[in-house]
Amino acid sequence: MINIENVTKVYQNGFEALKNVNLKIEKNGIYILKGVSGSGKSTLLNLLAGFDKPTTGKIELLGEFISKLPEHHMSKFRLQNIGFIFQSFNLFSELSIYENLQIPLIPLNLNTKLEKELIETLIHKYNLSDKQHQITKKLSGGEQQRVAIMRALINNPKIILADEPTANLDFNNKMIFLEMIDSFKKDKIIFISTHDDIFNDIVDVKIFNINGGIIC
């Protein structure tokens, strides 16, 4: 459950990137935040992930007022409940696929066997088993994207936030991405910011438009 009430965000330089945003998501599914460049999509996603705090207003995720959480509680909450897919993937480029997936699991303190099982199942599902020990720098854009998705999924979060996840992908890889998110829309909230029209055709998708920091 996501509930945003009267959220504004004014950056240090005085620029008002979000103006009194209200938004409510109660069911699992795919939600799209559409808007042109500079309309405030990344700003809103960063607030939802707790990377940044709003200037005023409430942000409630899964019953927790995250805009109020002290930072160390926020990181804990994020690790347990949120998977974030960055626009530029933000993978550790010198680490292998396997190692990139190990990182979000560190705080969970799983035993080695369980961890291996978890990671390998996921890698297998996303068809990267043969490359699991290759460093991510040497993967193609689409492959890196899949690693970024796996990393967001590995600790089974309730909410997935994706900031322009298809911006660097060709048509084929976009379609693969759509299939992937479609497969877990039943038990997760997937919130995607984009200016890509490709999402318009997914069934049951709910689209929010953002323009100049205002949701309309």
Could you tell me the sign of the dihedral formed by the alpha carbons of 30, 36, 39, 45, in that order?
positive
> Nearest-CA neighbor of 30 among 213, 214, 177?
177
CA-CA distance, 81 to 77, in Å (whole number)?
Answer: 6
Q: Is residue 17 a contact residue for ligand ATP (CB under 6 A)? A: yes
Q: Is residue 69 a contact residue for other proteins (CB under 8 A)? A: yes
Q: Is residue 125 a contact residue for other proteins (CB under 8 A)? A: no
Nearer to Mg ion (CB atom), residue 181 or residue 210: 210
Q: In this structure, what token pair is assigned to residue 138?
A: 């040497």
| Residues with Cβ within 8 Å of residue 191, at least 6 apart in sequence | 2, 25, 31, 33, 45, 48, 159, 160, 161, 162
Q: Is residue 14 a contact residue for ligand ATP (CB under 6 A)? A: no
Residues in 74-93 at the binding interface with Mg ion, rule: CB under 5 A: none
Provide the residue count of the chain: 216
Q: Is residue 42 a contact residue for Mg ion (CB under 5 A)? A: yes
Q: In what order do the strands lie in the sheet with 56-61?
A: 16-25, 2-10, 56-61, 64-65
Residue type, 40: G
Q: Is residue 129 a contact residue for other proteins (CB under 8 A)? A: no
Binding mask 20-59 for ligand ATP (x = CB under 6 A): ---------------x-xxxxxxx----------------
- Provide, rounded to whole angstroms, the least separation between the CB of residue 17 and ligand ATP: 4
Instruction: Select the residue interacting with other proteins from 35, 40, 54, 213 (CB under 8 A).
Output: 54
- Provide, rounded to whole angstroms, the least separation between the CB of residue 166 and Mg ion: 13
Region of residue 204 (phi > 0: left; psi between -120 and 50: alpha; otherwise: beta): left
Binding mask 6-25 for other proteins (x = CB under 8 A): x-------------------
Residues that bind ligand ATP (CB under 6 A): 11, 13, 15, 17, 35, 37-43
Residues that bind other proteins (CB under 8 A): 5-6, 53-58, 67-70, 72-73
Residues that bind Mg ion (CB under 5 A): 42
